[in-house]
Amino acid sequence: MRSSKASTRRHFLTLAGGAATIGAIPVVSLRPAGATPESMAAAIRNVVGTATVQTGRVKLDIPPLVENGNTVPMTVSVTSPMTSSDYVKSIHVFNEKNPQPNLGNFYLTPRAGRAQVSTRIRLADTQKITAIARLSDGSLWSVSTEVVVTLAACTEDVI
């Protein structure tokens, strides 16, 4: 009788442990590897190579405090005359903590007249956003901004 009690207890503990383990697996897989400051740096290197990136000329308009990360308005503008000899070729936007580090690549021509692009993005966490512009003379300019996100996007509905 005593042994049966012990076995019941052991049985219960095994079950409880098993349940805990099962419970733990989704918790672990809930968090995808995700973009990290390192993977953002790698994504930026993929675009700019070894060239130096200067700070300035780019303006990143994004609310500093975001309630809903599912749709965040973002405007990137670059100070440029946009003539056929001096224009913005492309704008690349990166993030630190979404599941992957790219937010968008935009390719412009001198016919744009104004180097400005707006879109709506998703943000999974409070993080740093970096925009880099490549000019026709090959120079690269960047700006970074911190965004606080209260409701995360990208991986919701997982629980």
Partner 1 sequence: MAAALINVPKKAKRGDVIEIKTLISHIMETGYRRTAEGKAIPRDIITNFTCRYNGEEIFRADLFPATAANPFISFFTIATESGKFDFEWIGDNGFSATASATISVE
DSSP three-state, residue 153: coil
39 contacts partner 1 (rule: CB under 8 A): no
Q: Whole-number minimum distance, CB 102 to partner 1, in Å?
A: 5
CA 10, CA 12: separation in Å to the nearest integer? Answer: 5
44 contacts partner 1 (rule: CB under 8 A): no
CA 142, CA 26: separation in Å to the nearest integer? Answer: 38
Q: Which is nearer to partner 1, 103 or 132 (CB)?
A: 103
47 contacts partner 1 (rule: CB under 8 A): no
CA 73, CA 120: separation in Å to the nearest integer? Answer: 4
Number of residues that bind partner 1 (CB under 8 A): 38
CA 26, CA 7: separation in Å to the nearest integer? Answer: 29
99 contacts partner 1 (rule: CB under 8 A): yes
The residue range among 11-19, 56-64, 103-111, 137-145 that interacts with partner 1, by the rule CB under 8 A, is 103-111
Q: Which is nearer to partner 1, 143 or 154 (CB)?
A: 154
Q: Which is nearer to partner 1, 54 or 118 (CB)?
A: 118
Which position has the token pair 């383990």?
A: 21
Tell me which of 40, 66, 72, 147 binds partner 1, using CB under 8 A.
72
CA 159, CA 150: separation in Å to the nearest integer? Answer: 17
